[in-house]
């Protein structure tokens, strides 16, 4: 017993290193497996989150395409309706101008006033004095 104690006393550093290595091996092996499990769980959650994000991005892109298509259709319908209303408006104005010309064709001043009211054009009378000089 005394020889073992003396050898431990003489080689205490080596003995304590071996004991620490054995203790560390068992202690850290358990924690390492726990850490590996946690890391794999984190990676799995991360992968699931990325998949969800990608699915959401695809849905957003599809919705954006649908909204763009609806916008194009709506704009084309509005443009068509606008063009039709412009044609109708020009037909109405043409008919109105035709009636005014038939009614006031013999009176140029009244014709000018009525056409100005119908079309919104401003009447500019010629300056007679400048022409005579």
pLDDT per position as a tens digit, 64-116? 999 899 888 888 888 888 787 777 767 777 788 778 878 877 777 787 788 77
Q: Indicate whether 128 pLDDT > 60.
A: no
Work out the burial of residue 34: count CB atoms within 10 Å of its CB; fewer than 13 is exposed, 13-18 middle, 19 or more buried: exposed
| Residue 116 forms part of a structural domain | yes
| Residue 1 forms part of a structural domain | no
The least confident of 16-20, 37-41, 57-61, 101-105 is 101-105
pLDDT at residue 48, rounded to an integer: 97
Which of the listed ranges 2-6, 59-63, 83-87, 100-104 does the model predict with the highest average pLDDT?
Answer: 59-63
Number of domains in the chain: 1
CB 92 within 8 A of CB 77: no
| Residue 6 forms part of a structural domain | no
Domain around 116:
17-126
| Residue 10 forms part of a structural domain | no
Alpha-carbon distance of 75 to 63, in angstroms, equals 18
Q: What is the DSSP letter of 23?
A: H
Q: Over the stretch 20-35, which tens digit does the pLDDT of each residue have?
A: 888 888 777 665 566 7
| Residue 9 forms part of a structural domain | no
| Residue 133 forms part of a structural domain | no
């Amino acid at each position: 017993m005394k020889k073992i104690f003396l050898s431990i006393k003489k080689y205490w550093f080596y003995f304590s290193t071996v004991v620490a290595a054995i203790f560390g091996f068992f202690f850290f092996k358990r924690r390492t497996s726990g850490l590996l499990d946690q890391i794999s769980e984190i990676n799995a959650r991360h992968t699931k989150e990325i998949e969800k994000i990608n699915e959401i991005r695809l849905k957003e892109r599809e919705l954006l395409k649908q909204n763009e298509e609806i916008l194009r259709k709506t704009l084309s319908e509005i443009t068509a309706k606008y063009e039709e209303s412009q044609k109708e408006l020009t037909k109405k104005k043409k008919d109105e101008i035709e009636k005014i010309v038939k009614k006031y064709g013999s009176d140029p001043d009244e014709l000018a006033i009525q056409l100005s009211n119908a079309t919104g054009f401003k009447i500019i009378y010629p300056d007679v004095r400048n022409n005579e000089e």
